[in-house]
Amino acid sequence: MIERLEELQQEALQQIEKAGDTKELEQVRVKYLGKKGPITEVLRGMGQLSKEERPVVGQKGNEVREAIQERLEKKTKMLADEALKEKLKNETLDVTLPGRPVQRGAKHPLTSVVEEIEDIFIGMGFEVTEGPEVETDYYNFEAMNLPKDHPARDMQDSFYVSSDLLMRTQTSPVQARSMERHQGKGPVKIICPGKVYRRDDDDATHSHQFMQIEGLMVDENIRMSDLKGVLETFVKEYFGEEREIRLRPSYFPFTEPSAELDVSCGICAGEGCRICKHTGWIEVLGCGMVHPRVLEMSGFDPEIYSGFAFGMGVERFSLLKYGIDDIRHFYTNDMRFLKQFTRV
Ligand code: DAH
């Protein structure tokens, strides 16, 4: 009987060894350890044994059962481990796979220029303000000393919305609006960036819609030297310390005297080149001392107050800084153009 039991143990262990999954293991368990299994059967025959043999065989039977049981457990655990390993292997993330790049936007070159210029003037104590793009004839023209029959209105062909409303042709109306808000009391120190509109045919240097930044400083004792100092500080901060400025007499209805501000050419350093049309200078903005009538119309006493104003085209500042050759690039939203500014 002992031999038979040992045989059965061998058999069972072999089958456990061969079993490839938990289902097969379960079959082995039922087959050898079940109530109807061969071991039980062998042990049932113990009745015929002598008193001395019985415990020996009984003990052997237990040993065989335990050995099979133990091996079954081991194998079950092994199969579970293998299954887990396999699962982990299949679910592994390949961390070396390159990620999908995040699409980064870029600031529009006009936005960066506006922000940069704002920062410079904020540094000099100016406040950033805004005004409406659909403007009344009064603010756009009359309050700027351009009465209805003034010939200088021709300089700015306009888009009228109604007989009294138009798309503003300049940011200058914000001068009047800001002064009105201050109710005749200085100081007024504002800059105003914004869109303006003119009836122009679009080409490399013209656009029916473009951007300006207006500046105004009104207080007691403001002189032309203040205008020059503020604009020189601005130009040197924006274009570079080495750049020079020059004021050239000009005409604007809302300033007296009026001037154009030129900056020494950054390409040829004043020698003369294609960019500055061989003059050594580049015109960048219009400016002047606020006309007494403009002060008066907006509630400031020209006997007490004086001021200066300036207006610049943002596109021009951007063209000059980034070497862009066509104003239309700013408005056609060509990604190849815009992507060049991701690092600006
Ligand atoms: N508004 C003028 C234009 O559109 C620019 C300008 C010139 C603004 C002189 C000013 C100034 O404030 O003083 O052409």
The pLDDT tens digits for 129-141 are 999 999 999 999 9
Q: What's the gap in Å between 267 CA and the centre of ligand 1?
A: 26
Evaluate whether 219 touches 190 at the Cβ level (below 8 Å).
Answer: no
Residue 331 lies in a domain: yes
Token couple for 79: 């199969």
Tell whether 60 and 147 lie within a shared domain: no
* Strand 255-264 to 281-290 pairing: antiparallel
> What residue numbers bound the domain in which 229 lies?
109-341
Beta bridge partners of 135: 166
Evaluate whether 140 touches 173 at the Cβ level (below 8 Å).
Answer: yes
CA trace torsion 278, 279, 281, 284 (10° rounding): -80
Tell whether 133 and 277 lie within a shared domain: yes
Residue 49 lies in a domain: yes
Provide φ and ψ at 316, rounded to 5°: -60, -40
Tell whether 63 and 133 lie within a shared domain: no
Per-residue pLDDT at 190: 98
Tell whether 137 and 84 lie within a shared domain: no
Can you give the CATH number for the domain in which 270 is found?
A: 3.30.930.10
Beta bridge partners of 312: 213, 285
Per-residue pLDDT at 142: 95
Beta bridge partners of 191: 128, 215
**Best residue for ligand 1 mutational test, from 135, 154, 172 (most atoms within 8 Å of Cβ):** 172
Tell whether 142 and 40 lie within a shared domain: no
Per-residue pLDDT at 9: 87
Tell whether 301 and 192 lie within a shared domain: yes
**Of ligand 1's atoms, which has the minimum distance to the CA of residue 312?**
5
Tell whether 300 and 175 lie within a shared domain: yes
* Strand 127-128 to 188-197 pairing: parallel
Which amino acid is it at 148?
K
Tell whether 65 and 177 lie within a shared domain: no
Q: What's the gap in Å between 285 CA and the centre of ligand 1?
A: 8
Evaluate whether 185 touches 203 at the Cβ level (below 8 Å).
Answer: no
DSSP 242-257: T--EEEEEEEETTEEE
Residue 284 lies in a domain: yes
Per-residue pLDDT at 114: 97
Per-residue pLDDT at 344: 56
Our measurement of the distance from residue 149's CA atom to the centroid of its chain's CA atoms, rounded to an integer in Å, reads 47
**Of ligand 1's atoms, which has the minimum distance to the CA of residue 172?**
1
Evaluate whether 168 touches 133 at the Cβ level (below 8 Å).
Answer: yes
What whole-number distance in Å separates Cα of residue 79 and Cα of residue 18? 12
Residue 95 lies in a domain: no
Tell whether 197 and 280 lie within a shared domain: yes
Tell whether 43 and 181 lie within a shared domain: no
Residue 104 lies in a domain: no
What whole-number distance in Å separates Cα of residue 28 and Cα of residue 11? 10
Token couple for 125: 């104590």
Residue 156 lies in a domain: yes
Q: What's the gap in Å between 260 CA and the centre of ligand 1?
A: 9
Evaluate whether 211 touches 110 at the Cβ level (below 8 Å).
Answer: yes
Q: Is 256 annotated as a binding residue?
A: yes
Per DSSP, the three-state class of 114 is helix
Q: Give the DSSP letter of residue 216.
A: E
Q: What's the gap in Å between 258 CA and the centre of ligand 1?
A: 9
Residue 73 lies in a domain: yes
**Of ligand 1's atoms, which has the minimum distance to the CA of residue 215?**
12
- Residue stretches of the chain with pLDDT short of 50: none
Domains identified in the chain, total number? 2
Residue 100 lies in a domain: no
90, 121, 152 — which closes off a domain?
90
Q: What's the gap in Å between 254 CA and the centre of ligand 1?
A: 8
**Of ligand 1's atoms, which has the minimum distance to the CA of residue 288?**
13
30, 60, 90 — which closes off a domain?
90
Q: What's the gap in Å between 215 CA and the centre of ligand 1?
A: 9
**Best residue for ligand 1 mutational test, from 254, 295, 312 (most atoms within 8 Å of Cβ):** 254
Tell whether 313 and 224 lie within a shared domain: yes
**Best residue for ligand 1 mutational test, from 310, 315, 316, 317 (most atoms within 8 Å of Cβ):** 310
Q: What's the gap in Å between 298 CA and the centre of ligand 1?
A: 17
**Of ligand 1's atoms, which has the minimum distance to the CA of residue 287?**
13
Tell whether 80 and 119 lie within a shared domain: no
Q: Ligand 1: residues whose CB is within 6 Å? A: 170, 172, 214, 252, 255, 286-288, 309-311
26, 56, 90 — which closes off a domain?
90
Beta bridge partners of 196: 210
